[in-house]
């Protein structure tokens, strides 16, 4: 179990099935089946991140997740290939085949995009595409 804290006192806890260090890079902890949890400042709801592998950079307070990434909150479920949590910037950047099921305000939508950013203080999300020619796709679920 590893804990990091941002400037606002928000604690981010990461657990893993296994972890190991590289003697040449002792600040990096390699994670097998990482599972991270934090409470969002806005409403004290939990946000959870899981993946098959990850890396925790103790010095920079960054956790990188790869392979079958899932991010859950009471308002959404996100799947992707990669996510990076920047504790000092209060942001999670999600990339690679991003699919977000948005369940806020009683609505149900699926959003497809190249990149999604979540502010861990406000829980605001911004979906974008890599090319200005492409558009974020949102479909209503029945």
* pLDDT above 70 (res 107): no
Q: Is the pLDDT of residue 6 over 80?
A: no
- The distance of Cα 71 from the centroid of its chain, to the nearest Å, equals 6
Q: How confident is the model at residue 109 (pLDDT cuts 50, 70, 90)?
A: confident
Convert the pLDDT of each residue in 39-89 to its tens digit: 877 778 888 999 999 999 988 888 999 999 999 988 889 999 999 998 888
Q: What is the pLDDT of residue 105?
A: 63
CA distance linking residue 50 with residue 26, whole number of Å: 23
With a CB cutoff of 8 Å and minimum separation 6, the contacts of 50 are: 33, 34, 35, 36, 65, 68, 69, 70
């Amino acid at each position: 179990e590893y804990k990091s804290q941002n400037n606002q006192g928000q604690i981010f806890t990461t657990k893993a099935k296994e972890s190991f260090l590289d003697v040449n890079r002792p600040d990096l902890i390699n994670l097998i089946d990482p599972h991270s949890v934090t409470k969002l400042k806005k409403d004290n709801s939990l946000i959870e991140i899981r993946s098959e592998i990850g890396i925790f950079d103790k010095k920079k307070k960054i956790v990188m997740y790869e392979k079958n990434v899932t991010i859950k909150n009471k308002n959404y479920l996100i799947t992707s290939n990669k996510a990076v949590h920047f504790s000092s910037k209060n942001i999670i950047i999600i990339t690679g085949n991003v699919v977000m099921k948005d369940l806020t305000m009683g609505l149900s939508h699926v959003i497809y995009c190249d990149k999604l950013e979540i502010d861990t203080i406000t829980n605001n999300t911004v979906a974008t595409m890599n090319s200005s020619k492409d558009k974020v796709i949102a479909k209503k679920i029945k």
